A = this chain, B = another copy of it.
């Protein structure tokens, strides 16, 4: 009864997998605000050219630099667990496996791309990185990566999160990063908002605007901006998750996976686990691949597939994606990482092609699943991750009904030790389910009307 499968250092994947060349329909090109295609060099003030090359690459396999591998090796390869205790509790004939990304020092999958992005920026001669963060997971991961790679990191954190989650700021500072509440007085974008709305709680859109502004206006040319999800190169760096899993399953002779599950906000942890299996599906394998989102922010299940901006301030290119509209303000559910209005273009493309099948879940079912998981498997998962756990339990129950010994795999994208307030509110009965009403959806997607269509 092998509860855990590990890999040796020499078994780590040496290449990332890029889904872009394998999508049945090629990804539509990102557009500028004028509706014309964005060229790589238009992105040069924002990102270093080596990452822009990855962003637009049509190569299926991209080498992972040895130095990046050495940094990832500090906590990777991560373990693959067999959830015997959960299976027994559910009385299911299904085998449930989970990939444990919570063992990284910041506690989630985010450092997989933070380390890679920091390293490529350093290679390109960059000295400072800026970014934004909502709940704080991405900001923490980038501060961690900055410490290991040797780059300054400045994180604009949405003011309301900054006030409500002071520990995230302390984490970033301990790793040497700077974390300031957004809007701030340090940028034009921030000052403008502060003048108009001194008491604003801030938003991810404002924070993105500030972080991009700081990167592109640094006259030394030594500052760049980073993003922790959505973009193609972020999905690419995360595929080490699924590529490791394939080797781990092979080691124990598990030749066939029936269901692959990940929660999806911007899409990166889902893509990281799932894309190597999407590749198998494109090549004929029968696999149900399920990205899971909250019913309160139903980007994949109810929003249109269209061009939209990545941020409310329209600083980013227009990206082809499922989107609730760049001005969408989701209700304050606790899974902060799943509150994004859009979805990664590669994930969106895979949905559009019918390769993956999104599912929306309510938060009470997710917390119930997370508590069941903690009491059987012993790991307290992040509120985001609870969506993957809940979908895995749904699939295991379905397998029980059907009497099938299915193989179910999900991504345990992070632990919940920094997010216990959500559990507390769940235990105290303060949480309620909320599905986005149709009229809210219609209202929020109005901003898409004047934009280019797909």
Query: What's the nearest-Cβ distance from chain B to residue A230, in Å?
Result: 25
Name the one of B73, B147, B173, B379 contacting A376, with C-beta atoms under 8 angstroms.
B147
* Residues in A364-378 with C-beta less than 8 Å from chain B: 370-371, 374-376, 378
Number of copies: 2
Interface size of A by CB at 8 A reads 42
A9: B residues at CB distance < 8 A? 2, 4, 6
- Whole-angstrom CA separation of A174 from B378 in the bound complex: 10
A376: B residues at CB distance < 8 A? 147
**Which of these binds chain B: A25-33, A221-229, A391-399, A417-425?**
A417-425
The answer, yes or no, to whether A380 is at the interface (CB within 8 Å) is: yes
- Whole-angstrom CA separation of A85 from B6 in the bound complex: 25
* Residues in A168-222 with C-beta less than 8 Å from chain B: 170-171, 173-176
A170: B residues at CB distance < 8 A? 420-421, 423-424, 427
A420: B residues at CB distance < 8 A? 167, 170-171, 174
**Contact bitstring A48-63, B, C-beta under 8 A = 1, else 0:** 0000000000000000
Q: From DSSP, what is the main secondary structure of chain A's interface residues?
A: helix
Query: What's the nearest-Cβ distance from chain B to residue A96, in Å?
Result: 15
The answer, yes or no, to whether A166 is at the interface (CB within 8 Å) is: yes
The answer, yes or no, to whether A454 is at the interface (CB within 8 Å) is: no
A171: B residues at CB distance < 8 A? 380, 417, 420
Known contacts A417-B417, A424-B170, A427-B170; A375/B103 CB under 8 A: no
Known contacts A103-B103, A147-B375, A167-B420; A70/B1 CB under 8 A: yes
Q: Is there contact, CB below 8 Å, between A73 and B175? A: no
Name the one of B8, B166, B415 contacting A424, with C-beta atoms under 8 angstroms.
B166
Residue from A73, A170, A176 having most chain B Cβ neighbours under 10 A: A170
* Residues in A6-33 with C-beta less than 8 Å from chain B: 6, 8-9
The answer, yes or no, to whether A107 is at the interface (CB within 8 Å) is: yes
A371: B residues at CB distance < 8 A? 174
Residue from A173, A174, A427 having most chain B Cβ neighbours under 10 A: A174
A81: B residues at CB distance < 8 A? 74
Name the one of B176, B379, B417 contacting A375, with C-beta atoms under 8 angstroms.
B176
Q: Is there contact, CB below 8 Å, between A4 and B378? A: no
- Whole-angstrom CA separation of A171 from B370 in the bound complex: 12
**Contact bitstring A407-421, B, C-beta under 8 A = 1, else 0:** 000000001011011
Query: What's the nearest-Cβ distance from chain B to residue A374, in Å?
Result: 5
Name the one of B2, B6, B175, B415 contacting A378, with C-beta atoms under 8 angstroms.
B175
6 contacting pairs across A/B (C-beta < 8 A): A4-B9, A4-B73, A105-B379, A147-B376, A167-B417, A171-B380
**Which 3 residue pairs spanning A and B have beta carbons closest together?**
A170-B420, A167-B420, A147-B375
Beyond the given A167-B420, A174-B370, please list 20 additional residue pairs across the A-B interface where CB-CB is below 8 A.
Answer: A3-B74, A4-B73, A6-B8, A6-B9, A74-B81, A85-B148, A105-B378, A105-B379, A105-B380, A144-B378, A147-B374, A166-B424, A167-B421, A170-B423, A171-B380, A171-B420, A173-B427, A174-B375, A175-B374, A175-B375
